[in-house]
A and B are shown apart, each in its own frame.
Chain A
């Protein structure tokens, strides 16, 4: 072998580049080299989007002055004014961090659910997981001052994300039990049960909203449409542990999710502890979705558009699809948020409207274009 064997997972990029080139590797059915390049590109793009979303807005600040401020060097001219400091450090930065975390969570949750249900249509929003998380969150918002007050005393800022987590967990688990029979998950049952569960939890949420007072109502309305407005460092702190834990777990599911693509029986034959994988995956998705919903409300279509788009380019291998989706999900949500807060400035649109406006038609286009390939 003339090429150096650098272990870069399977089918190394170096080998592909050095010996045959990326195109040749692709022709041989090996998309891992391409996937690595895409991931590297996405890291750069996401970083750029993050910087952009911190600097762009009603009060402009250059990237250099931002870096100078953050690192605490440079002369007084280069650094930001006190007012800009507050805007950047206490408003935009936590908002960008939240956007990144939530976009990544939603996209990764979509990938995991789609792998688990062996169906590209599964999405936290479409199959009712977000609705369950919403119920948990609304319950805490409305009843937090009265019935659930002891809960708040106990869990503090973590109450809302935890409630959303358990709401999401309950619906995901129910959904899975309903739609899976004998190791086979029926697509029709999955989607219909998701709609039924979403309607049911929506009704209960409705009752809670009906009970809400005026201030709670205003919070709920804006929150329900999905928004990153009102991002604070304490919200970041409240959801970061939950999201980080699920992000530490999910990479270990990649191999099993690949195997499950061939069916649960085949996955078991290939040495995957299928039942354990499913339990872990459901809890991880509920955690990531629940935490996201708790702070941002229902932001749709990220979990379905991002994985679809990436599968077209780098293929369905979860070892590369998961990190790529996390990055693209984060970048896309930051981009959507920039539009949401600049398009009608100084007011802002709920981000859920932007993602639905862009994601809905895109989703339809994907459906019409790929009907045969998706087996619909």
Chain B
């Protein structure tokens, strides 16, 4: 039960955005894509979600991506974009409800109601159903979109068929508490048999939650593997271009926060 991306290559104008990106993501695992700004992380996510076509070969659950109809894809993977602006004044409930409609749909009005309430509770937005999307903060909007995506795929595994979540910077606009709770949510999705591919910027959160790390640099995969294997002084130096040392406390007097100390 995997997603295979093989030799993804894409040029935009004269710039080569992706240059032979290959990786495998498994269900039951949280795969993190990390790397400096502009290294092709979002583009990679767009290719594996089917949004950008003809940029290499992607197989999802053993079937080429092109062989899926759009609605079939919608049942097997949900995509959370970095930002979502909406054109009309929808309420939070209506937006999350679109996720239900996009998935298998609800058998009854009360089933839909429950699915929406559950998803909003999962992203810590209970009581937000009646608010207008445009009135929310950026972080709250991002969590509403995540609730919509959760309604669309509905379960990590449904009728024996697992689903993937593709998350583009799911926690970058969130406060620390919600960063942790959303990462924990993604973790639970993977533990329950679903697959998660998340673009992350926070190396600590990546180390805490990811099973597999795809580290990108300038349109290529610079390193791949478990966080312990990938996060070394040398790779961080060569990928991000700044000298850091892994697992060493800063000098005395500098406050630093370790999210790893959070208890949940």
Residues of A bordering B, CB below 8 Å: 1, 3, 5, 7-12, 15, 26-31, 115, 118-120, 255, 258-259, 261-263, 265-266, 268-274, 311, 315-317, 373, 375
Contacts and interface: CB of A to CB of B under 8 A. Distances in A.
B210 interface: no
Interface of B is mostly: helix
Nearest to B91: A29
Nearest to A260: B87
B51 A261 contact: no
B129 interface: yes
B130 A26 contact: yes
Contacts of A316: 88-90, 94
A120 B98 CA distance: 20
Nearest to A307: B88
B106 interface: yes
Given A270-B102, A271-B73, A271-B74, A7 B130 contact: no
Interface in B50-89: 50-51, 69-75, 78-79, 81, 84-89
B170 interface: no
Contact of B101 (A26, A30, A255, A274): A255
A5 B78 CA distance: 29
B74 A28 contact: no
Interface of B: 46, 49-51, 69-75, 78-79, 81, 84-95, 97-102, 106, 108-110, 112-113, 129-131, 134, 145, 152
Contacts, number: 113
A120 B129 contact: no
A250 B71 CA distance: 19
B87 A258 contact: no
A27 B127 CA distance: 10
A266 B84 contact: yes
Contacts of B71: 271
A317 B46 CA distance: 27
Nearest to B85: A263
Given A261-B88, A262-B86, A11 B79 contact: no
Contacts of A26: 130
B51 A268 contact: yes
Contacts of A119: 87
